Amino acid sequence: MSLSRNPNLILTAKMLCRDLRKNSTKAEDILWQELRNRKLLNKKFYRQYPLYFDLLGKETFYIADLYCYENKLVIEIDGGYHVRRKEQDELRTGIINLLGIKVIRFKNEEVEKNFKKVLEEIKKHLIT
């Protein structure tokens, strides 16, 4: 994973991350309240975290909904919008995997209606 030295790219990522935090979904808020401040297995999570990488000689980034650096784990919370973005999401997951980071995905409805199951699934990935 590259750590960007491009100040314009860093500023763009920072601004987008702030906007996404301010406009988070209900499901993201619910999960964040359970993961923040090392509440789950004493693991540190970041919300709306930029992951920089080089794609065909051009540095760019993806923003992970939730990221645990210690376990190299990204948690994505997908709304209805992602139904139409299946191919893009698969490409994104593949690139993040190439960075040595595992990606797990949950739908908004899963987080809102079956929260305990979602937490158990996350715990499995944090323990192994």
Q: Residue 77: which residues within 8 A CB-CB, separation 6 or more? A: 25, 27, 28, 31, 65, 66, 105, 106, 107, 108, 111
User: What domain range includes position 99?
Assistant: 7-127
Does some domain include residue 110? yes
The mean pLDDT value for 34-61 works out to 94
Confidence of residue 72 (pLDDT cuts 50, 70, 90): very high
Quick check: 3 pLDDT over 70? no
Quick check: 2 pLDDT over 80? no
Quick one: pLDDT at residue 112? 96
Does some domain include residue 1? no
Assign residue 101 the CATH number of its domain: 3.40.960.10
The mean pLDDT value for 47-64 works out to 92
Quick one: pLDDT at residue 4? 63
Confidence of residue 1 (pLDDT cuts 50, 70, 90): very low
Quick one: pLDDT at residue 42? 97
Does some domain include residue 52? yes
In one-letter notation, the amino acid at residue 124 is K
Long-range contacts of 121-126 (CB under 8 A, 24+ apart): 122/35, 122/40, 122/75, 123/40, 123/41, 125/71, 125/73, 126/40, 126/41, 126/43, 126/68, 126/71, 126/73
Parallel/antiparallel/unpaired status of strands 58-68 and 73-78: antiparallel
Quick one: pLDDT at residue 16? 97
Quick one: pLDDT at residue 85? 77
User: Which of 2-6, 12-16, 41-45 is predicted with the least confidence, judged by mean pLDDT?
Assistant: 2-6
What is the domain count for the chain?
1
The mean pLDDT value for 55-81 works out to 91
The residue count of the chain comes to 128
- Helix/strand/coil for 77: strand
